[in-house]
Amino acid sequence: MISTLHTSPSKGTQSHIAHIPVLKEEAISYLLTDRSGIYVDCTLGAGGHAEALLQTMSPPGILIGIDRDQRAIANFRQQERCWPCQVILFHTRYALLGDLLGPQNIRQVDGVLFDLGVASFQIDDPERGFSYRQDGPLDMRMDSSQKMTARVVINEYGEDDLARVIRDYGQERRWRRIARAIVRARGRHPVTTTQQLAGIIRAVVPEFQAIKSLSRCFQALRIEVNRELEELRAGLEAAVDVLKPGGRLVVICYQSLEDRVVKELFARLTGVCQCPKGLPQCVCGARKILQVLTGKAIRPTSQEAKRNSRARSARLRAAEKVLL
C-alpha cells in the first residue's frame, strides 16, 4: 500500500512521540549540499532527522519522508510547525523510492538518508512486540498491515528454517539449541507472547549470556518478519539511481549485518570488484558510480553516547554520486 500525504504550513495536534536523532549534525553536514534542493528521508520514524533538515532548508526545497509505520507518518503530519518547504509523506516501503518520484514530477534528488533499525517508539510499545523486556504479542511488524508476524515465524517455520533465521540474522552461537527448544515448546501449546519466547530462550542458554542471546534472537525475528536486509539492498540501489550527480547518500546503521550490506554496496559502486579470487573476469557489476566520503564509519562522541544509550552502536557512512 502507498499512501501519499502532502503537507502544507498548518497547525495540528502536538506529537506524542519523543525522539533524539542519532548523529544529527553529522548526518545533515554530509547530506545537505543545496539548501533549496530535494531530499528524501527513507526512514522517517519520529522525524528527528527530517525536522533538522527542514530547519536548514529554504524554498523551493522539498522534503520527502517515507516510513512503513503509519504512526510515524501521522505523527510527523501533526507536528505543530510552519515549514518553509514542501513536505511529501509516503506510507510505504523505501525500496519503492524509484516508483514514488515519477508521479511527483521528480526525476532526481540531492540527497537520501537512511536511519536504520527499529524506532524508539516501536521498541517502547509492548503491543508491538519488539522487546523481550516487556510482555506483549509476538508481532514485530513495522507495517501493521502486513500479514507476516513473529508469531508466524515462531509457530509455523520448520526447525531448520527457524535455526537459519536465528543463526544468520541473530549471529547467535546456540542457534540450533534455541530452535529445537522453541519447536518442543510450541508442540505443547502455541508461543504467542514475548515473555513466553524469552522464557524458552533463557531456559537453554547460560544465565550470564541470556541478555545477549535474547537480543540476538529478537533481532533475528525482527529482520525476518520485515525482510530488512532485502529491503535495505533494494532501497540503497533505488537511492543511488535517483541521486543526481553530486548528490549524497547517508546511511546510519546499528548492527553489523546492516553495515556489511552498506559497505558491500559502497565498494561495488566505487569500482571495487567483489568477485571471488580466481574468476577470469569480473561478474559482480562493479563500476564507478559513488565516491565514498567517510573513510571509516563516523561514530557518536562519548558525550552523545552518554546522553542517548541507543546511539552507542551507530555507524554513519556517506557517499557522493560522481559525474557520469
Does residue 244 share a domain with residue 198?
no
pLDDT digit string, tens, across residues 92-141:
999 999 999 999 999 999 999 999 988 888 999 999 999 999 999 999 99
Residues 187, 100 share a domain: no
Q: Are 193 and 269 contained in the same domain?
A: no
Same-domain check for residues 282 and 310: yes
Digit-coded pLDDT (tens) for 6-43: 443 333 334 456 678 999 999 999 999 999 999 999 99
Q: Are residues 114 and 261 in the same domain?
A: yes
Q: What tens digit of pLDDT does each residue of 153-165 get?
A: 999 999 999 999 9
Distance of CA 185 to the CA centre of its chain: 31
- Shared domain check, 112 and 20: yes
Considering the domain architecture, whether residues 22 and 115 belong to the same structural domain is answered as yes
129 and 61 in a common domain: no
Match 524509484 to its residue by C-alpha cell: 98
Q: Which residues share a beta bridge with 113?
A: 41, 250
Q: What is the DSSP string of 255-301?
A: SHHHHHHHHHHHHHTBT---SPTT-SS--S---B-EEES-SS-B---
Comparing 308 with 252, which gets the higher pLDDT? Answer: 252
Domain boundary among 179, 208, 226: 226
Count of structural domains within the chain: 2
Question: What CATH number did the domain enclosing 272 receive?
Answer: 3.40.50.150
Q: Indicate whether 209 and 254 sit together in one domain.
A: no
Same domain? For 110 and 156 the reply is: no
Q: In which domain, by residue range, is 154 found?
A: 122-226
CA atoms of 5 and 87, how far apart (whole Å) = 9
Give the pLDDT of residue 324. 59
Does the reported pTM lie above 0.85?
yes
In the sheet that 86-91 helps form, which strands lie side by side, from edge to edge?
A: 3-7, 86-91, 62-67, 38-41, 109-115, 243-253, 315-321, 290-292
Helical packing angle, 194-202 and 210-226, nearest 10°: 130
